[in-house]
Amino acid sequence: MMELCDWNKVESEEYKRINSAIKKTVEEIGATTGKAPTPGDHYLFDYAFIFSQIREFKGVRFLDLGSACSALTVHIARQGGIVTAVDLPGSVYDFASYFAELKEQLGIQITFSALDFCSDPLPKADVIISCSAIEHNGYEAIPQLVKNTKNALPLGGRFIFTVIAEPEPPEEQYAYSSYREDKIRQTFLQGFRLDKNKSNFDQFDTLYQRFRNQFPKYFYIPVGVSLVREDHE
């Protein structure tokens, strides 16, 4: 499935329920560590999309690519997921200490792994998620990322992520790589299939305009992609 951010969906009962549960987790973290990034802005779409695509949590191995201090990854760990959070080595943020603090103060067990998800092999997982991180990498780096995710997942494993889409041609003030429907199909479907062959890209102009009305500062619209690892290239 490919789902462009639809603000009506963000305001649906399903997405509101997910976001309020994540906020509750954030409040609990905040009460203890004082480092609680609040879900808001376009993450209200990104987090709810990714979470809504996950079928099981308890005992399932999750990998969060480009996690930073994500509330979503903490919330997944809270549901019983066995989570490894991945972010770049040498970041100005000390992610390792952040996750160590969560463990020490709240008993939330998240393994942090400092690596580049495009070039480094990834730990094995059942579900790989990535929220608003892949678009920070050039198109040339993505085939290796797709290989890495394929190698890390079993057949039937899931790769669920959000990236951004822009009108053609992309507006240049953003140094992001953006993905329309064709580009998603060309780039990510090597060894994966769409979880459901469903897309709302036919409503691009309407959804883009609605998102821009909500957030005039962005020249893009987030898009969620839900894939299943399968047995052919």
Ligand X SMILES: C[S@@+](CC[C@H](N)C(=O)[O-])C[C@H]1O[C@@H](n2cnc3c(N)ncnc32)[C@H](O)[C@@H]1O
- Side-chain half-sphere of 167: how many Cα atoms within 13 Å? 12
| Separation between Cα atoms, residue 224 and residue 233, nearest integer Å | 22
At its nearest, how many Å lie between ligand X and the CB of residue 52? 15
Burial annotation 19-52 (CB, 10 A radius, 16+ → b, else e):
beebbebbebbeeebeebeebeebbbbbbbbbbb
Residue whose C-beta lies closest to ligand X:
66
At its nearest, how many Å lie between ligand X and the CB of residue 99? 13
| Separation between Cα atoms, residue 115 and residue 121, nearest integer Å | 9
> 116 vs 230, which CB is nearer to ligand X?
116
> 77 vs 131, which CB is nearer to ligand X?
131
At its nearest, how many Å lie between ligand X and the CB of residue 125? 15
| Separation between Cα atoms, residue 83 and residue 9, nearest integer Å | 27
> 27 vs 202, which CB is nearer to ligand X?
27
Sign of CA dihedral 117, 93, 222, 38: positive
CB 29 within 8 A of CB 51: no
> 49 vs 117, which CB is nearer to ligand X?
117
CB 158 within 8 A of CB 92: no
> 143 vs 156, which CB is nearer to ligand X?
143
The site for ligand X (CB under 6 A) is made up of: 66-68, 70, 72, 86-88, 91, 116-118, 131-133, 136-137
At its nearest, how many Å lie between ligand X and the CB of residue 198? 24
At its nearest, how many Å lie between ligand X and the CB of residue 19? 13
| Separation between Cα atoms, residue 149 and residue 102, nearest integer Å | 27
> 119 vs 206, which CB is nearer to ligand X?
119
At its nearest, how many Å lie between ligand X and the CB of residue 205? 26
Query: How many whole angstroms from its chain centre is CA 35?
Result: 20
